[in-house]
């Protein structure tokens, strides 16, 4: 390996969403930062977040009420100190985004609201007792991602490696050193041609050895482990899988949130229909037009996501329908078009006019509430390895995430983790020495001429997860899923060691690991709580008001983290 294939930095950030870019921008004030982005730097879950960022900004709201709403949604598993720290950090993060140029929607002058002109136009979503969701139209995530990315690209101390994917974390204990993380092996995807192409035989993939004093996982979620998801293709659980292989504690993977409303259309790729529509009066109906949410929860269409998703699933099973309907036709057409311009245009593209007709919707995998066990500042169980945003499990979300607390979590944790690292590393003399690290060794691996193995296993894995580990589960379904996952992992493991790595192969390997973790955690929690619903254990068990934890080489156990 040449010197060009070895890089070093103070802080290595894996992932380029809101959490990773916030940390990179803040840390660049005192450190050299490398950001690894699997595809284009803008391609992250953040970009696809529509609803907004929850924050206490209105005169009739309070931190206590935001905390209370979050705790209720979390079904007994939230850690209140973590919730309070992130809730109280929200207003400053909104102001910081405004300073970067994010234009949040403002209330028009003379609209008759309780807010004075010039105040933010705050939305309300399911589970919130107040209007507290700051938004930029219905493309808040895109606006936030663009502003953070532009600021990072302008920093001389931040280097962004696009089309690069982390393969594994570098933990010296594996080769006789200390039990800490000192960076990652990173695949240059541009030099990793697809199997079966002429280039595959002529080039070998370039793998960088990137060392760092601190390594931060900001890789987002794992929605692609399910057949139907609102997530982009990058959401393959890379951070959780790498952390698990490195020996980190993983927690609460059974709690996977299914967004209640994605557009039902074979070509729309589960386009997300924001919960904010229901916050503005949209009603869920059965195919025959009957509203149904009031019979499941007194909050009706503004119940938390876990309740709404289960209710839709129950109605679909009861009636045999392939979808339900979301109806916002009671709103003025001009309001709907102005408030949800992107959603309106996308629905129109597929032949549905939001302002004139109810639209077909179904639940889809959306958000991973479990992840790498971490504290509110991102510390994990592995020294000098940090996890922030969706990849982490801090106790903010508990058994179910409250709407619009996701971007909030990434922004606040990114800032807090950067401040922690500054305390530990701001003085250059305090930065830990980096030991000698061996370069990546491909061994006898050869280019693959059987890419069909990857695509076949990818499809089989995601279908098994959708059919057996979806919104409603049972021990029998989970056992079937684990049996199939174990067989697939054997095939993947054999293929991985025999062939040169590609992005598709790495994603499949990571998804199989994440699938195993989800199933094992689900089997350990013999109750129904939040996002985890068991047919053969329909009640909540007070004895299980604890985290489900996993560490490599151990089975899932219920314990405090």
pLDDT tens-digit map of 401-452: 999 999 999 999 999 999 999 999 988 888 888 988 999 988 888 887 777 8
CA distances from 463 to 225, 323, 517 (A): 9, 19, 16
pLDDT of residue 113: 46
Active site residue ranges: 305
Q: Cα–Cα distance between 34 and 290 in angstroms, integer?
A: 53
Tokens of 273: 């229909």
Tokens of 191: 């030099």
* DSSP H or E segment with residue 187: strand 183-188
- Which of the four pLDDT bands, split at 50, 70 and 90, describes residue 76? very high
pLDDT of residue 328: 98
pLDDT of residue 268: 79
pLDDT of residue 339: 92
pLDDT of residue 107: 83
Q: What is the CATH number of domain 260-366?
A: 3.90.700.10
Please give the full DSSP string across 485-532, using - where no structure is assigned.
HHHHHHHHHHHHHHB---HHHHHHHHHHHHHHHHHHHHHH--S-BTTB
Q: Which residues in 208-239 are b (16+ Cβ under 10 Å) and which e? A: bbbbbbbbbbbbbbbbbbbbbbbbbebbbbbb
Please give the CATH superfamily to which domain 3-104+134-255+382-430 belongs. Answer: FAD/NAD(P)-binding domain (3.50.50.60)
Asked if 182 and 212 touch (Cβ cutoff 8 Å), the reply is yes
Contacts of 158 (CB under 8 A, 6+ apart): 24, 25, 28, 33, 34, 35, 152
pLDDT tens-digit map of 292-350: 999 999 999 999 888 999 999 999 989 999 999 999 999 999 999 999 999 999 999 99
Q: What are the extents of the domains in the chain?
A: 3-104+134-255+382-430, 260-366, 452-559
Tokens of 279: 């916050």
Asked if 171 and 243 touch (Cβ cutoff 8 Å), the reply is no
Q: How far apart are the first and last CA of the chain?
A: 40
More confident residue, 378 or 270: 378
Q: What is the CATH number of domain 452-559?
A: 1.20.58.100
pLDDT at 117 over 80: no
pLDDT at 532 over 60: yes
In the chain, % of residues over pLDDT 70: 94
Tokens of 44: 């992250």
């Amino acid at each position: 390996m040449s010197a060009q294939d070895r890089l070093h930095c103070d802080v290595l950030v894996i992932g380029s969403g809101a959490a990773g870019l916030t940390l990179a921008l803040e840390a660049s004030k005192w450190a050299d930062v490398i950001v690894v982005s699997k595809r284009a730097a803008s391609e992250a879950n953040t970009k696809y977040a529509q609803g907004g960022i929850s924050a206490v900004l209105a005169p009739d709201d309070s931190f206590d009420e935001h905390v209370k709403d979050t705790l209720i949604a979390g079904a007994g598993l939230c850690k209140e100190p973590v919730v309070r720290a992130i809730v109280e950090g929200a207003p400053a993060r909104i102001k910081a985004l405004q300073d970067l140029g994010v234009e949040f929607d403002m209330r028009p002058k003379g609209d008759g609201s309780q807010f004075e002109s010039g105040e933010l136009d705050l939305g309300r979503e399911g589970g919130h007792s107040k209007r507290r969701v700051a938004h930029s139209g219905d493309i808040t995530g895109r606006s936030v991602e663009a502003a953070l990315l532009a600021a990072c690209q302008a920093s001389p101390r931040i280097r962004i490696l696009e089309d690069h994917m982390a393969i594994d974390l570098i933990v010296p204990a594996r080769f006789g050193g200390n039990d800490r993380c000192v960076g990652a092996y990173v695949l240059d995807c541009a030099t990793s041609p697809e199997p079966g192409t002429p280039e595959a035989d002529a080039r070998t993939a370039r793998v960088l050895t990137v060392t760092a004093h601190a390594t931060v996982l900001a890789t987002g979620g794992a929605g692609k482990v399910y057949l139907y998801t609102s997530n982009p293709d990058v959401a393959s659980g890379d951070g959780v899988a790498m952390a698990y292989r490195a020996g980190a504690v993983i927690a609460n993977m059974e709690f996977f949130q299914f967004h209640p409303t994605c557009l039902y259309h074979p070509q729309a790729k589960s386009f997300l229909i924001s919960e904010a529509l229901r916050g503005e009066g949209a009603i869920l109906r059965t195919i025959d037009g009957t509203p149904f949410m009031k019979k499941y929860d007194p909050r009706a269409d503004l119940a938390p996501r876990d309740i709404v998703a289960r209710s839709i699933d129950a109605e679909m099973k009861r009636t045999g329908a392939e979808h339900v309907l979301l109806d916002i036709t009671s709103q003025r057409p001009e309001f709907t078009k102005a408030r949800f311009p992107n959603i309106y245009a996308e629905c129109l593209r597929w032949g549905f006019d939001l302002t004139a007709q109810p639209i077909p919707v179904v639940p889809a995998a959306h958000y991973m509430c479990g992840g790498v066990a971490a504290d509110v500042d991102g510390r994990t169980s592995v020294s000098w390895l940090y996890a922030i945003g969706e990849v982490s499990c801090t106790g903010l979300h508990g058994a179910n995430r409250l709407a619009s607390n996701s971007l909030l979590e990434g922004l606040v944790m990114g800032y807090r983790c950067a401040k922690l690292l500054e305390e530990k590393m701001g003085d250059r003399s305090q930065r830990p020495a980096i030991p000698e690290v061996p370069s990546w060794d491909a061994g006898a691996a050869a280019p693959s001429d059987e890419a069909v193995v990857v695509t076949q296993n990818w499809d089989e894995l995601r279908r098994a997860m959708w059919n057996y580990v979806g919104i409603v589960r049972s021990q029998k379904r989970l056992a079937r899923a684990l049996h199939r996952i174990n067989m697939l992992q054997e095939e993947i493991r054999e293929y991985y060691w025999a062939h040169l790595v590609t992005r598709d192969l790495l994603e499949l390997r990571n998804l199989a690991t994440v699938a195993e973790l989800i199933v094992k955690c689900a089997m350990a929690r013999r109750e129904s709580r939040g996002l985890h619903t068991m047919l053969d254990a329909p009640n909540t068990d007070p004895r299980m008001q604890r985290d489900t934890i996993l560490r490599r080489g151990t089975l899932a156990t219920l314990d405090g983290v």
